[in-house]
Structure 1
Amino acid sequence: MIRTFLLSAPLVAAAGLAYAVDAPPAMKAFVETDIMDWAQSAQVTDAIAAQNIETNGASITQIEEWDTAWRAQVGQDQQPLIDEVMGRELSVTLGERVAASGGRITEIFIMDALGLNVAASGVTSDYWQGDEDKHAKTYGMGAGSVFVDEVEFDESSQTYQGQVSFAITDPDSGDVIGAMTVGLNAEAFF
């Protein structure tokens, strides 16, 4: 069964998000209370800002080379790009968030302005999310943007999940600096 979960008006008001439609009450409450309280933390925004400085001006050719390298490294013994991202303190923190969620969160990853992975709770299937809705419909749509995808089988996490993606903003300027995707175990919310 495929279901589409989207956020509701109470979540929009509580988290300052951009639009509203229905979602299961348990999923709405979890996003409101267990994700939004830390998604805009200094650890997250500082890591995104730092990577934005590093990747600023990268060409599409360079982005595709990084993405190709990442994909080639998945499952290999030598994983320099993957190891760099997965070795970051924020990636460790995201892994701890997944572990502490009681099975409700399947994965978390954070993207910079270009849609490149800043940190992840586990190895994603690709490095560049900038060509996908999770980045285009959040970062690309401005502050407060949220995109909730259909529940599908996710190869990375090996679960049926719905991904909730949302824009991350600079705490001082309010400008969008990146995005976060949180995979939610669909079965945990029924």
Structure 2
Amino acid sequence: MGYRPLALAAIALLSFQVCLAKQPSLNLVTFEAPPYQIASVAGRGSASIRGETVTTVTCAAKAAGWATNITMVPQKRAIYSLKRNIADGYFAADPSAELDAIARQSYPVALEKWYFFTLDASPKPSNDRIGVVDGSNEEAWLKANGYNIYLSVTSPKQLLALLERGRINAALMDERVMQGLNTDPTTPAIDSLHSHFLRYAPLHLYLGDAFQVTYPNFLSAFNEALPTCMGKNLQLSERELTQIDELTRRLLAELRGLLDLQQALNAGQQPNTLAEVLSIDSKWQAVTPDSKLPLAAHILNLPASQTLKNWQGSYQGLVTEVMLVNSMGAIAAMSQLTSDYWQGDEPKFLEVAGSESTTEPRDRNFLFISPIRYDQSTTRFQITVSAPLFTDEDKTPNGVLVLGLDIEEAMGI
């Protein structure tokens, strides 16, 4: 065989190997919803799809070993494409019985914050003429939850025009979508509108059953990558931070009236060294949640822990956990069994008690409010709020009180 045939054979083999190494491509559909999914014209007139949720989905798919091919279509057509196996998946969708019957949902890929926007300061959802975007997640949710929809239109901008003319007196949409409209000079004035929080809406990637059967390991890898890929998208807004701050201070004042926190700290376990704490923590994590160490049972039976448990129960749904943590980061009292004994390496402790990045002593009134975290076991979104504890004499914290809050319950108060 001559050199030329050998060279051609080598090229063919190399091309075959490159094809084998190429990432598989996930064919997805979504819909226009700035700033989450945005269609724009790129160079030479080609369509470019970008946005926060697009970035999240692309990032998690890449971590799972897949490239993405995303097409923008109306929401009803997106569902049709999923049903007919024209697309492998559809995002960002609010859970529904229709989708659950034909596909499997991922962990949330986006978190929307839905508000009723009204001219009236006191909305009456049961009587209001509600407007919504046709085919939207909001429309599907309202129908599933027994609301009467007065008008469905093609765009959020139309909803504002109808509000201005009095055709409707309540429009349901995402807070970020409304913020985007507020920067559009062609949008009707919205300064006079009132906003009323309705719910946090976790939106998912739905993967068709046929894709799931063929690639059964994809979804678990995709879900595992999501917390990192979502990152900053779960930060609280200034409005939310203000409301959580005010609520937490009321809760802390009530708790301090029920429990002497310094006495509770002193009554808790007193490890001598960090090495001892870490040794306990290793054993604690190894048996939790199926069992608990004798030390964990002892802490749960302390009077302070019983007070925390009873107090949490009085706020069922809102308060998800309460922890009293000593200066070494170890649990001194808790309302329920925690996943670990040592909290000293987590922001809820470090941002309050101090670390290398917090060189200045914390003010006695300081609160650290965490980003939102999705709890898969309860399918709820939660935050933690940490407050430093001081004796009368100390200038640095000798402990930390940590509250877990359900963010949707907290914002609905």
TM-score bucket (shorter structure): 0.7 to 0.9
1-structure distance, mates of 2:328, 2:405: 24
Matched residue type, 2:405: L
2:325 corresponds in structure 1 to: 111
Matched residue type, 2:308: L
Alignment: residue pair count = 172
The TM-score with structure 2 as length reference comes to 0.38
| Aligned: 1:168 with 2:389 | yes
In the alignment, is the contact (CA less than 8 A) between 1:124 and 1:156 conserved in 2?
no
The TM-score with structure 1 as length reference comes to 0.78
Residue deviations 1:152-179, cap 9 Å, x none? Answer: 1246876321110110111x21442100
1:126 corresponds in structure 2 to: 340
The verdict on how the C-alpha distance between 1:143 and 1:96 changes in structure 2, with shifts beyond 3 A counting, is same
2-structure distance, mates of 1:89, 1:155: 31
**1:89 aligned to which of 303, 310, 314:** 303
1:23 partner SS: helix
The verdict on how the C-alpha distance between 1:41 and 1:179 changes in structure 2, with shifts beyond 3 A counting, is farther
**1:142 aligned to which of 339, 352, 362:** 362
Residue deviations 1:20-56, cap 9 Å, x none? Answer: x65355433321222234248652111213448x23x
Q: Once structures 1 and 2 are overlaid, which stretch shifts more, 68-77 or 96-105?
A: 68-77
1-structure distance, mates of 2:275, 2:320: 31
Name the Cα RMSD after superposition: 2.6
1:187 Cα shift? 1.2
1:16 corresponds in structure 2 to: none
2-structure distance, mates of 1:134, 1:38: 19
1-structure distance, mates of 2:386, 2:306: 20
1:108 partner SS: strand
1:12 corresponds in structure 2 to: none
Matched residue type, 1:119: A
2-structure distance, mates of 1:157, 1:47: 29
1:4 Cα shift? 2.7
- Report which of the two has the higher share of strand: 2
2:278 corresponds in structure 1 to: 64
The verdict on how the C-alpha distance between 1:157 and 1:91 changes in structure 2, with shifts beyond 3 A counting, is farther
Give unmatched runs, 5+ long, in structure 2: 1-110, 112-232, 355-360
Q: Which has the larger radius of gyration?
A: 2
Residue deviations 1:72-109, cap 9 Å, x none? Answer: 23134453121011111111111111111142111111
2:220 corresponds in structure 1 to: none
In the alignment, is the contact (CA less than 8 A) between 1:138 and 1:147 conserved in 2?
yes
Give unmatched runs, 5+ long, in structure 1: 7-20
In the alignment, is the contact (CA less than 8 A) between 2:284 and 2:292 conserved in 1?
no
1:185 Cα shift? 0.5
In the alignment, is the contact (CA less than 8 A) between 2:289 and 2:339 conserved in 1?
no
| Aligned: 1:4 with 2:221 | no
| Aligned: 1:28 with 2:248 | no
The verdict on how the C-alpha distance between 1:82 and 1:118 changes in structure 2, with shifts beyond 3 A counting, is same
